[in-house]
Amino acid sequence: MLDIPIIRQDFPILGHKVYDKPLVYFDNAATTQKPRVVVEKIRDAYYNVNANIHRGVHFLSQAATEAHEEARQTVQQFIHARSAHEIIFTRGTTEAVNLIASGFADAFMSPGDEVILSAMEHHSNIVPWQLQAARKDIALRVVPVNERGELCMESYRDLFSERTKLVALTHVSNVLGTINPVEEIIRIAHRHQVPVMLDGAQAVPHVQVDVQALDAEFYVFSAHKIYGPTGIGVLYGKEEWLEKLPPYQGGGEMIATVAFEKTVFNELPFKFEAGTPDYIGSTAFAEALRYVEGLGIERIAAHEQELLRYATERIQAAGPVRIFGQAAHKSSVLSFLMGDIHPYDMGMLLDRLGIAVRSGHHCAQPLMKRLGIEGTVRASFALYNTKEEIDTLIAGLEQIQTMFLKK
């Protein structure tokens, strides 16, 4: 069991009050709070090891380079990649998807080719593909979602054609919490010789990810959703695929030699890391991963599952609630609507009680359309949340409901 009161002391922000009420932070799917070790790592890196990396021969530059490359190894080990040069640092999930969409469309797709997405994708795994679809005249095929918020696997199987070039799906839905059957998804795609990219933004903080066991060709995620800093994320790719993809951006660092006649690109991972990378962010990111490893992802998941179970049970007893996302396998995300209270009203009223939830379409408008709603209220739980905080949420919901009934 995790010692939550002790763990909470690692996160100074959790001790804050908003509107004179203790902060209840349930917006973890948007971004997580940062433990002290991560914030201190950033400060320490700027104070003690700040110099631009890779090209410098001086002491500080070498120390900073070493820290950055060690961070890459930490990420590699965290997701069980075969080699550190299969880890590309990006600005986040969004940039990683754009990198793949752009390179993949250029290198492997012709007019009429198809990419399989799903109806539960975040906009960042839809729009990059639409941009390429418009540029290269390729088609997007969409796996539907059933009433429980699960992918329709029969339809997925039927979507493959001679023209399918890639499957790009989310591992875990940011709205429904659904943990998709990615092993099966990948097995089916591979039977058709189609590579798979998984959006792991909502998975990595909650489930053990082993990219080799999964056998995904690409896997992307963001540091800030797993207790790390903003502005940095990861594109994992199998070496053979990364070798085949063209560079995404040009500039320093990604080249071996430059002449006006011809430029030779650098080897992996640097081919995809044009310009000065976020070498401070990478070391803080590694610190966050070590923090998570120290607690144990399985223990974190067990705690979050208990919070989800408790919250689901309590909210259903609290009033006329519709829960969106009733998949058999769910992460700690609870999307709901109460009566006909608009999600923005609910979000604002909860905020006045010190409770931070997200309301709206959650960057998944096609999913909202599928569900026939404008948006939901989303409470998403992390390792530092407690049942007492859920009690506060439920009391808040009951109070708001009474207010609306009186109207």
Strand-pairing partners, residue 78, are: none
**b/e 57-96 (16+ beta carbons within 10 angstroms → b):** eeeebebbbebbbebbebbbebbebeebbbbbbbbbbbbb
Active site annotation includes 152: no
Please tell me whether residue 201 binds ligand PLP under the rule CB under 6 A: yes
Q: Which of 312, 315, 309 is nearest to 339 (CA)?
A: 315
Q: Exactly one of 4, 30, 127, 363 is catalytic; which is it?
A: 363
Residue from 65, 74, 76, 94 that binds ligand PLP (CB under 6 A)? 94
CB proximity list for 143: less than 8 A, separation 6 or greater: 116, 117, 118, 119, 151, 152, 155, 156, 159, 169
Please tell me whether residue 311 binds ligand PLP under the rule CB under 6 A: no
Interface region with ligand PLP, contact rule CB under 6 A, candidates 146-154, 185-193, 198-206, 278-286: 198-206
Interface region with ligand PLP, contact rule CB under 6 A, candidates 196-204, 313-321, 369-377, 380-388: 196-204
Distances in Å between the alpha carbon of 204 and those of 116, 269, 354?
22, 21, 28
Instruction: Give whichever of 168 and 353 is closer to ligand PLP, judged by the CB atom.
Output: 168
In whole angstroms, give the CA distance from residue 243 to residue 60.
31
In whole angstroms, give the CA distance from residue 359 to residue 76.
34
Site track for ligand PLP across 157-186, x = CB under 6 A: -------------x---x------------
CB of 203 to ligand PLP, least distance (A): 8
In whole angstroms, give the CA distance from residue 83 to residue 72.
10
- In angstroms, how far is the first alpha carbon of the chain from the final one? 45
List the interface residues with ligand PLP, window 74-93 (CB under 6 A). Answer: 92-93
List the interface residues with ligand PLP, window 14-33 (CB under 6 A). Answer: none
In whole angstroms, give the CA distance from residue 189 to residue 185.
6
Please tell me whether residue 199 binds ligand PLP under the rule CB under 6 A: yes
Interface region with ligand PLP, contact rule CB under 6 A, candidates 66-74, 199-207, 211-219, 366-374: 199-207
CB of 228 to ligand PLP, least distance (A): 11
DSSP state of 142: E
Site track for ligand PLP across 213-252, x = CB under 6 A: ---------x------------------------------
Q: Which region holds residue 67: left if phi is over 0, alpha if psi is between -120 and 50, else beta?
A: alpha
Please tell me whether residue 353 binds ligand PLP under the rule CB under 6 A: no
Please tell me whether residue 335 binds ligand PLP under the rule CB under 6 A: no
In whole angstroms, give the CA distance from residue 235 to residue 89.
6
CB of 339 to ligand PLP, least distance (A): 27
Site track for ligand PLP across 111-130, x = CB under 6 A: -----------x-xx-----
CB of 91 to ligand PLP, least distance (A): 7
In whole angstroms, give the CA distance from residue 394 to residue 400.
10
In whole angstroms, give the CA distance from residue 19 to residue 34.
22
Residues serving a catalytic function are: 363
Which residues sit at the interface with ligand PLP, rule CB under 6 A? 92-94, 122, 124-125, 170, 174, 199, 201-202, 222
